[in-house]
Structure 1
Amino acid sequence: MNLSLRRVKSSNGERLIVLVDELGMPLFYPALYVTVHMRGRSLALNTIQSALSALKAMYAWQRYYNIDVESRFSSGELLLSHEIHSLRDFMQKPLADEDGGSVVSISRRVRTVSKGNQYARMSVIADYLGFLADQNLPASISSHDGVERMVSQIKANRPKTSNKSNVSREDKYLDDTVLDTLEITLRPGSANNPVREYAVQVRNALMFAILRITGLRRGELLNLKVEDIDFGMNTMQVVRRPDSKGDARAYQPVVKTRERVFPLIPELADQIYNYVVRLRNKVPGAKKHGYLFITHKSGGSQGLPLSNAGFGKFMGMLKNIVEGNRDIHAHALRHHWNYSFSKTCEIQGITPQREEKIRSYLMGWSETSGTAATYNRRHTKELASKAVLELQYKHLDKALKGGAL
């Protein structure tokens, strides 16, 4: 059975994702699991997608070992220890999409997914198999304890993960000279601009400028509407629009964090205004939805909101502008904004406590989330390094004067 994930948009604008077979029919129990255990908790669509990707891997494991867990549970049998071990080993392997994504198998190359990926897969599968067992075990069989033991054993076989991989997040930032080079190259009319159409050049330059100046997420950028820009007050508002009816994109970009307002320098607000009035609004269909960044290229998608795939193509293009730099992506620009913000706060003498509050607001985080503190640690580490070097130079200078060295 060849499975794939499919995103759909309902008549009321709600975005859904389902695991379907080769005929496009949703699988019953995964759909029920998502409805009962995930959508009821208002989990993000990307979270549901990750869970269904884990179940897709589980079905590949079933096919490989000729195991039918639904039939097994219906006959009152649970998974055995050696089968759980094979599940554990199988979840180390990456899924490979073949034939345009319609066929799902396990890659034959000797590659493995990260421990974090394997851990996440097995966590979902453990929960799902517990749900499936409760649904299918005969009522005459009292095996609640057995189901719990099976679920616990699957979870016990998850790989041990380390927090060390997350240590350097606050240290990630880009070189300003690289960003300056990108900005110059993306300027409309630049001889080195990789895009030839002027309207697309203006759009791309604006997207890059907004990402660099504000640290917005990809979804927040693609979710911007013309009405979110107050051209009188020179402000830009980040607004949550989950399951928007007016957004034709099945893969709808969403605002994951809190709503907030950014002040804009007049020059940037003017550039956005000129793009909207002189270029964007002249594209057929662009005025029907209001989203700021659109597809300009002629064809069926002309005038529609820029898709995630279109944005990904833009970011991929940036990686080829500066030779040898493959670290350019939307979230890297967000990290860099946080680095630049810390430097600005240091120059202005803003206290770490005040810096954390301001950062939390501008990034859309709760003040109690602790995320802002991650970047404040980078600031503290830098100041600590500076202090240590000053002490060393002071000691060295004293030692040289005393003739000790």
Structure 2
Amino acid sequence: MELSIRRIRSSGGERFVILVDESGTPLFYPALYVTVHMRGRSLAVNTVENSLNAIKALYAWQAYYDLDLESRFSQGDFLHPNEIHALRDFMQKPLVRDEQDKVVSISGRRNLVSTSNQYARLSVLADYLGFLAKQLQPSSKRDHDHVERMVSQIKANRPKKPTKSSPNRDEKHLDDAVLDSLEKALKPGAENNPAKEYAVQVRNALMFSILRVTGLRRGELLNLKVEDIDFAKNTLKVVRRPDSKDDIRAFQPVAKTRERTIPLIPELINCIYEYVLEHRNKTSGAKKHGYLFVTHKEGTSLGQPISNAAFGKFMADLKRITDNHNGIHAHALRHHWNYSFSKACESKGVTPEREEKIRSYLMGWSETSGTAATYNSRHIKEQANRAALELQNQHLGKKTPGDEE
């Protein structure tokens, strides 16, 4: 059975994610789980999709071992320890299709998924299988202890819970020289510009500039509307628009963080104004909605809001126009903004407490979330290194090689 995940947009703008078979029919229990167990908690569409990807992997595991969990659970027969171990091992590996078009796991330790991926998969499956077992176990054999024992065993087989930040996460930073070279290549009319149409070049250069100088998330960027730009006050407003009726994209970009207003320099405001006036508003279909960045390529999507896929292609193009392309993606630009912000605050003597408050506002975080410290870790390390060297110089720096005793 070939399964796929589909995104559906209702007439009211609400987004749904479902797991369907090869005929397009939704699978009953995954659909019930999403409706009853997930949507009631107002979880983000992407969170629901990640859960369905884990359940999709569960169906692949069943097919691989020729199991029918729904039939077994209806008879009160739950997973045994050896099956839970097999499930754990299967969830370590990415999935591919073999020559018979059967979903199988890739063997070999080099192909293991990340620890965080395996942990997330097993966490979802523990919850889903507990839900499924309680739905299917016969009324004559209601025994929640057996179900809870199975759920606990699955959770116990998860790898050690990963931390949110790896030791080297903040070491992979972007250099200003690389970003400068990218801006030069993206300049409309540049010889090595990856885009051919001039309007696309203007749009891409503007998107890159906004990401670089504001630290917006990609979803926040693609969610911008013309009305969010105050051309008189030189500001950009980040607005949350979940399940917007105006957004025809099934994969709707959304602002994950708090709403906020960000000041922009007049030069950038002028660039936005010129793009809207000279390119966006002259594109057929663009005036039917308010989204700032639109598709300029001829076809059925002409004038529609730029999609996540199109933005992903744009970011992929950036990696091919510079030699030092490692780490070029939207979130890396967000990290780089935070690093540059830290250096600016240090040079102006801003106190750490004040810096954290300002950073949290500009990034859309709660002041008590602790996220600001995560994004500031690279700058903190640099400060610590400088302090350590200064201490060493105080004790050893005054000595010359001939001073040894």
Which TM-score tier does this pair reach, normalised by the shorter chain? over 0.9
Distance 2:378 2:355 in 1: 12
SS in 2 for 1:357: helix
Match of 2:69 in 1: 69
Match of 2:393 in 1: 393
Distance 1:224 1:6 in 2: 25
Distance 2:303 2:97 in 1: 31
Distance 2:97 2:371 in 1: 35
Unaligned 5+ runs, structure 1: none
Distance 1:368 1:290 in 2: 34
1:373 aligns with 2:381: no
SS in 2 for 1:252: coil
Match of 1:88 in 2: 88
Distance 1:79 1:365 in 2: 42
SS in 2 for 1:140: helix
Shift of 1:93: 1.4
1:215-254 aligned at under 5 Å gives the runs 215-254=215-254
SS in 2 for 1:106: strand
- Is the contact between residue 92 and residue 112 of structure 1 (CA under 8 Å) also seen in structure 2? yes
Distance 1:187 1:53 in 2: 39
Distance 2:98 2:358 in 1: 47
Kindly provide the CA deviation profile for residues 327-347 of structure 1, in whole angstroms up to 9, marking residues without a partner as x: 100011011001101000111
Distance 2:189 2:264 in 1: 24
- Is the contact between residue 339 and residue 376 of structure 2 (CA under 8 Å) also seen in structure 1? no
Shift of 1:142: 2.8
TM-score (norm 1): 0.96
Distance 2:214 2:399 in 1: 47
Match of 2:361 in 1: 361
Q: CA RMSD in A?
A: 1.7
Kindly provide the CA deviation profile for residues 267-324 of structure 1, in whole angstroms up to 9, marking residues without a partner as x: 1000100000011100000010110000000000000000000000000000001124
TM-score (norm 2): 0.96
1:125 aligns with 2:140: no
1:135 aligns with 2:135: yes
CA distance 1:148–1:397, change in 2 (3 Å)? closer
Kindly provide the CA deviation profile for residues 324-370 of structure 1, in whole angstroms up to 9, marking residues without a partner as x: 42310001101100110100011111111111111111111111110
Q: Structure 2: which amino acid aligns with 1:106?
A: V
Match of 2:8 in 1: 8
SS in 2 for 1:146: helix
CA distance 1:342–1:6, change in 2 (3 Å)? same
Match of 1:300 in 2: 300
CA distance 1:401–1:86, change in 2 (3 Å)? closer
Match of 1:35 in 2: 35
Unaligned 5+ runs, structure 2: none
Kindly provide the CA deviation profile for residues 369-390 of structure 1, in whole angstroms up to 9, marking residues without a partner as x: 1000123333332212112212
- Is the contact between residue 318 and residue 325 of structure 2 (CA under 8 Å) also seen in structure 1? no
1:209-220 aligned at under 5 Å gives the runs 209-220=209-220
Match of 1:174 in 2: 174
- Is the contact between residue 215 and residue 338 of structure 1 (CA under 8 Å) also seen in structure 2? yes
CA distance 1:106–1:24, change in 2 (3 Å)? same
Distance 1:279 1:97 in 2: 44
The number of residues matched between the two structures is 402
Deviates more, 1:363-372 or 1:168-177: 168-177
- Is the contact between residue 172 and residue 327 of structure 2 (CA under 8 Å) also seen in structure 1? no
- Of 84, 104, 108 in structure 2, the residue corresponding to residue 106 of structure 1 is 104
